Every structure is written in structure tokens, then in C-alpha cells.
Amino acid sequence: MSFTLHGIAVSSGIAIGHAHLVSHTSLEVAHYVLPKKFVDEEIVRFDTALQITRNELSGLRSNRPTHAAAEFDAFLELHQMILDDPLLSVAPREMIASEHCNAEWALKVQTETLVAQFDEFEDAYLRERQTDVKQVAERLLKQLLGQPGHQPTPMRLDVETILVAHDLSPADLIQFRPQQYAAFITDVGGATSHTAIVARSLNTPCVVGLHHARELVREDDLLILDGEQGVLIVNPDKSILAEYKLRQSEWELERKKLKRLRTARANTLDGTAIELYANIEKPEDVAEVKENGATGIGLFRSEFLFLNRDDLPDEEEQFEAYRAAAEGMEGQPVTIRTFDLGADKQLKGVERVASNPALGLRAIRLCLAEPQLFRPQLRALLRASHYGNIRILIPMLSSVSELNQTLQFIAATRQSLEDESIPCGSDVKIGGMIEIPAAALAINVFARKLDFLSIGTNDLIQYTLAIDRTDEEVAHLYDPLHPAILHLLAHAIGTCNKLGVPISVCGEIAGELPYTRLLLGLGLRQLSMFSAQVPSIKQRVLTTSLPELTALTQKILRADDPLRIRELLGRLNA
């Protein structure tokens, strides 16, 4: 049966392929029936994994860092309780015994039952605890998968495969190699969630917020995914398929043509130079940055070095990563953001329980609270600055005292490296991210103390409009054209221009064509986006005359009716 689903378009391109359903975790679980003689052994295997997981949790509790918040303890205690819930610790054994199935399968089925029970709770806090159930089950599942006896599921990922998931974290996604699948779709998620951001950086078509795709789509269904329109067509008929094949080749041709702009300078028609930088997640992304003609890195989300691993990258490993990026960019700016951990990017094993993580101990707040995490990063950054043009970017600044503390920390780290005679770059620029409305309003205070600023519109919009960027239920409220956002942008850009402090935008709108002229009209001269989008934005810059933008941009700022704002924006882009 053919049907169509509509979601939120987050990464363009058209993919045609067969569905491969993936479970909540990126770990695939096979189902197989065991010969009777192996059933007891399978139960022992389950018990062993259970015991190791119990030990692991108590180990984490007794080794908890002294600085870790008391919530960390509460969180581990909760996970221990969940692990001992009979549905996770006893029911899978019984299922292995009665159905002769493998332990992973029994665990998966029982986890789903437990999650469904949590789903029924009226109380939002209790309902949210299903995330903890999934995390605990994932921990146990990993133990099982790492044990002898498990027959791994053959991964069938190839370019014809479209991954269909209820949810995928940024960490899940980054595990899949880009060449292994054609696209992916999820039931949940918003356009500026980090999962969507990673999809764009992998250059993979993606639609999120499809609600029930994971339930409705069957394994191997033929799918067409239109990442531009946010449409998923399941089992299309021949004529639709032919039409999309044509559109797909046209789209690819267009991309190829745009790449010819690689070496062209991004100058407007009136000759103003615009800097187009790229956002990256790991040093290997530098090749793509250069391929797409970006002239610098405006945002290296360094926290991605932490995802998908059980240990923390030490100073040496970080130094190598930053140095590789700096050397790869051959003197062009490489803006490395200090860890923006917390919220939807959590350290493995130390996920924090916070009632509202986006407003909690995240980004620079976390780094200042955990100097043992921050110090090695600053040492690595300063050491790597000797090998290229590294700039340090501080995320989520909200107060000046936080900034002062960070600047002192950086200065003390530099001093100790100098005392050890370890070379550092002599003029490492330090910048801050404007992501919190308070920081945007008080930008002059930050601009006076920093070398440059960068507006993170993904968070700025989230915090200004009070909409969780990962929640598809409120995704329709995400609106970069909201008058409050436009005024914050105009104020931030205008103030920095007056003070002569460079300012850029590195949130997702920097890579969205409808906003390019508006941002230029507001006075912005630097944009940082996912690499693949640089050629399209460059083309828009090349066909833009700045003097012609002023009057319309001012009209947009004065307008308050959303339809009128959109109409004026249409004229700006005509």
C-alpha cells in the first residue's frame, strides 16, 4: 500500500531506497531460537551480563568525582533500581526459558513492556523516566553484545538503505558512516536538534518529526525521502518513482554545478567581501570544508570528541585533534568551541538527571564546575594554537562573571604551559557565543572583553521563544522571523559593528538561503554553516547588492505581522 507522511525537513536531497528499521538504540538486536541444549547457557549469559552491569553501576557510584553534583548519585541509584526491576532482571530469564530465544531479544521485548508502562504515567516526571529505562537497558544490552555467544546481526546498511528510527541521538547518528546509507528519518526531533545538525554535516537527506513512521513503515518497504519538502512516500507507484528519480538527478547536477564556485570569492555585487565559514564536528571534516570552498571554520563542536565512548579523551588526544584541524586549514581560522556538553549531548555513564537540562549545567557552566574536564581541553587548545590559527569560542555565556572566570582560567592555563616551556600561539583570539537572550541584550559588555562573537541562533531561538529544540511537538513554533529574534539579531550585529568587534552567525539559519540577504541587510559579514551548504550561500551572496537591502530590511524590522514579514522577506529574495 502506498502512503505519504509529512515531517520536518532538516537535510535536503532526495533519497530512494529500502527501509531498514532501527531500534531506539543504535544497537541492532537479532531474534533467533536456540536449540534446547543451549537454553541454560543463555540464561547464565544473561545473569552474567546483569551482574557485570550491576558492578559497573556501583563502581560508578563509588568512584564518583568529588565535584560531581549530588544528583549524580541519585541518578545512579535510580538506574540501579531500574536494573533490579523484575521486568528487566527476571522476566527476560523466564522468556529465554519458555521461548528459547536469545537473551538480547528477551531483554528488548521486556524493555519495551517496561517503557510502555512508563508511557502510561500521568505525571510528566515519571513519564520521562522511560529515558532512564532505555539507558539502563542499553547498558545491559551492550554487556550482552560484548559477550561470547552472541551472534551479531549482519548490518545490511548500504547506499540503498534508508534508516527508519523512532529516535536517534547525535551520538547514534555519528556512528553510521555516511556512505553506508542513503538517508534517515525519525519520528521525533526538531529542525535544530543536534541529530538534525549531524545529518546535515554528513550530507545525508533527513526528515524528522514524522510521528509514527517507525510503526507504519515495514522492513524493506520502498521509500522516497524528499529532504527539501519533508515528505516521505512509502511504496510509491511507478510514475511517482520515475518523477523522483528525475528530480534526484537534477538535484545532484545542481550540486555539482555549484561546486564550481569553490574558489570564487564570496563578494557581493557591490564588492563587499563576505566570509563563509564551515561548522564541523571532527578534524576529518576539514577535507569537506575545503572541497566546498569555506575559508575557515567558524564552529568546531569539540564535544563530539566525547560522544560514543566510555573514556574521556585526554589532553594528548585532544591536542592531536585540534592540531590536525589547524594544520589541515593551513593558516585559515579554526574556531574551536569549548565543550558544549549537557542537554542533548551527554557524557556516557555520567548522564545527569536535571529537570530541565537545557537550562541546567550545560556548556561553559559545566566546564567551570568541572575544572578537571576543562583544564585538559584548554591546555590542548593552547598547545595546538602553536600549529595554526586556532580561535577559542566559549559557548552559552550568560553573565560577565562567568566570562571573567573563563578568561582567568585561560590565562592561568597559558601561564602554566609557559612555565613548562611548552609553546603556544602568541595571539589566540577568544570569542563568545551569544545564545542566551540576556547575552544578546547585553552584548556590548561581552564585546568589550572578547575578540569576536558568534550568534548561536539555534539556542537563541530556543531560549527566546521558550521552545525545546529537540521537541517536535513545539517545532512549529520555531521561528527565526519572530520580531523578538529579529530585534535581538539587529541589536547584537549593530552593536558589534559599532564597536568594531567581528560577529558571525553559526546557528542553522546561517546555512538557510531565505535568511542570507536578511542577515546581510542587518549588517552581518560572516556566516558559518554546514560545509555542503557553502556553495549555495556563496551563489546567493554573489547575486546580492547590499545597498538594495537596507530599506527592505528596515521595513522587516518595523513590521509586526508575521504575514507581512514573510511577504517583505519574499521581496528581499526576489
Positions marked active-site: 194, 506
Shortest Cβ 252–ligand PEP spacing (Å): 28
How far apart CA 148 and CA 168 sit, in angstroms, is 27
Q: Toward ligand PEP, which CB reaches closer, 42 or 459?
A: 459
Shortest Cβ 197–ligand PEP spacing (Å): 6
What angle, rounded to 10 degrees, do the helices at 513-521 and 534-542 form? 50
Q: Of these, 459, 468, 472, 508, which contacts Mg ion (CB under 5 A)?
A: 459
Q: Of these, 12, 53, 89, 458, which contacts ligand PEP (CB under 6 A)?
A: 458
Residue type, 568: L
Using the contact rule CB under 5 A, the part of the chain among 62-70, 122-130, 206-214, 434-442 near Mg ion is 434-442
Q: What is the CA radius of gyration of the chain?
A: 25
Question: Binds 506, which of ligand PEP, Mg ion, none (CB < 5 to 8 A, cut-off by type)?
Answer: ligand PEP
How far apart CA 82 and CA 132 sit, in angstroms, is 8
* Cβ count near 153 (within 10 Å): 14
Is 345 exposed, middle or buried (CB count within 10 Å of its CB: 0-12, 13-18, 19+)? buried
Sheet order of strands, 183-186 included = 3-6, 231-234, 222-226, 14-22, 161-165, 183-186, 206-208, 8-11
Using the contact rule CB under 5 A, the part of the chain among 188-196, 255-263, 448-456, 512-520 near Mg ion is 448-456
Binders of ligand PEP: how many residues, by CB under 6 A?
Answer: 11
Q: How far is CA 522 from CA 274, 305, 456, 480, 517, in A?
A: 13, 34, 16, 14, 8
Shortest Cβ 203–ligand PEP spacing (Å): 17
How far apart CA 508 and CA 24 sit, in angstroms, is 26
Question: Binds 385, which of Mg ion, ligand PEP, none (CB < 5 to 8 A, cut-off by type)?
Answer: none
Interface with ligand PEP, residue 544, by CB under 6 A = no
How far apart CA 316 and CA 379 sit, in angstroms, is 9
Question: Binds 236, which of Mg ion, ligand PEP, none (CB < 5 to 8 A, cut-off by type)?
Answer: none
Question: Binds 301, which of ligand PEP, Mg ion, none (CB < 5 to 8 A, cut-off by type)?
Answer: ligand PEP
Shortest Cβ 228–ligand PEP spacing (Å): 21
Binders of Mg ion: how many residues, by CB under 5 A?
Answer: 3
* Cβ count near 233 (within 10 Å): 19
Interface with Mg ion, residue 432, by CB under 5 A = no
Strands 206-208 and 8-11 come out as antiparallel
Residues in Cβ contact with 164 at an 8 Å cutoff, skipping those fewer than 6 apart: 19, 20, 21, 22, 184, 185, 213, 214, 217, 223
Q: Toward Mg ion, which CB reaches closer, 96 or 394?
A: 394
Question: Binds 507, which of ligand PEP, Mg ion, none (CB < 5 to 8 A, cut-off by type)?
Answer: ligand PEP
Question: Is residue 203 within 8 Å of residue 278, measured between CB atoms?
Answer: no
User: Pick from 433, 470, 480, 465: which is nearest to 357 by CA?
Assistant: 470
Phi, psi of 77 (to 5 degrees): -65, -45
Residues in Cβ contact with 561 at an 8 Å cutoff, skipping those fewer than 6 apart: none
Question: Is residue 166 within 8 Å of residue 214, measured between CB atoms?
Answer: yes
Using the contact rule CB under 6 A, the part of the chain among 451-459, 475-483, 489-497, 562-570 near ligand PEP is 451-459
Interface with ligand PEP, residue 301, by CB under 6 A = yes
Using the contact rule CB under 5 A, the part of the chain among 75-83, 138-146, 435-443, 524-532 near Mg ion is 435-443
Interface with ligand PEP, residue 507, by CB under 6 A = yes
User: Pick from 485, 506, 501, 505: which is nearest to 441 by CA?
Assistant: 485
Question: Binds 302, which of ligand PEP, Mg ion, none (CB < 5 to 8 A, cut-off by type)?
Answer: none
Shortest Cβ 508–ligand PEP spacing (Å): 7
Q: Toward Mg ion, which CB reaches closer, 221 or 435?
A: 435
Residue type, 348: K
Q: Toward ligand PEP, which CB reaches closer, 294 or 299?
A: 299
Question: Binds 457, which of Mg ion, ligand PEP, none (CB < 5 to 8 A, cut-off by type)?
Answer: ligand PEP
How far apart CA 514 and CA 564 sit, in angstroms, is 15
Interface with ligand PEP, residue 456, by CB under 6 A = yes
Q: Toward ligand PEP, which CB reaches closer, 95 or 343?
A: 343
Residue type, 522: L
Using the contact rule CB under 6 A, the part of the chain among 60-68, 129-137, 249-257, 457-465 near ligand PEP is 457-465
Using the contact rule CB under 5 A, the part of the chain among 347-355, 404-412, 456-464, 512-520 near Mg ion is 456-464
Q: Of these, 102, 457, 470, 504, which contacts ligand PEP (CB under 6 A)?
A: 457
Question: Is residue 143 within 8 Å of residue 53, measured between CB atoms?
Answer: yes
Q: Toward ligand PEP, which CB reaches closer, 362 or 540?
A: 362
Interface with Mg ion, residue 167, by CB under 5 A = no
Using the contact rule CB under 6 A, the part of the chain among 4-12, 156-164, 353-361, 454-462 near ligand PEP is 454-462
Shortest Cβ 259–ligand PEP spacing (Å): 25
How far apart CA 349 and CA 342 sit, in angstroms, is 13
Interface with ligand PEP, residue 346, by CB under 6 A = no
How far apart CA 79 and CA 138 sit, in angstroms, is 11
Residue nearest to ligand PEP (CB): 456
How far apart CA 56 and CA 65 sit, in angstroms, is 15
Interface with Mg ion, residue 456, by CB under 5 A = yes
* Cβ count near 112 (within 10 Å): 15
How far apart CA 196 and CA 209 sit, in angstroms, is 11
Shortest Cβ 506–ligand PEP spacing (Å): 5
Question: Binds 370, which of ligand PEP, Mg ion, none (CB < 5 to 8 A, cut-off by type)?
Answer: none
SS3 394: strand
How far apart CA 137 and CA 103 sit, in angstroms, is 12
Q: Toward Mg ion, which CB reaches closer, 251 or 374?
A: 374
Interface with ligand PEP, residue 268, by CB under 6 A = no
Site for ligand PEP in 389-428 (CB under 6 A): none
Q: Of these, 82, 106, 380, 506, which contacts ligand PEP (CB under 6 A)?
A: 506
Interface positions with ligand PEP (CB under 6 A): 197, 299, 301, 340, 435, 456-459, 506-507
Residues lying near Mg ion in the complex (CB under 5 A) are found at: 435, 456, 459
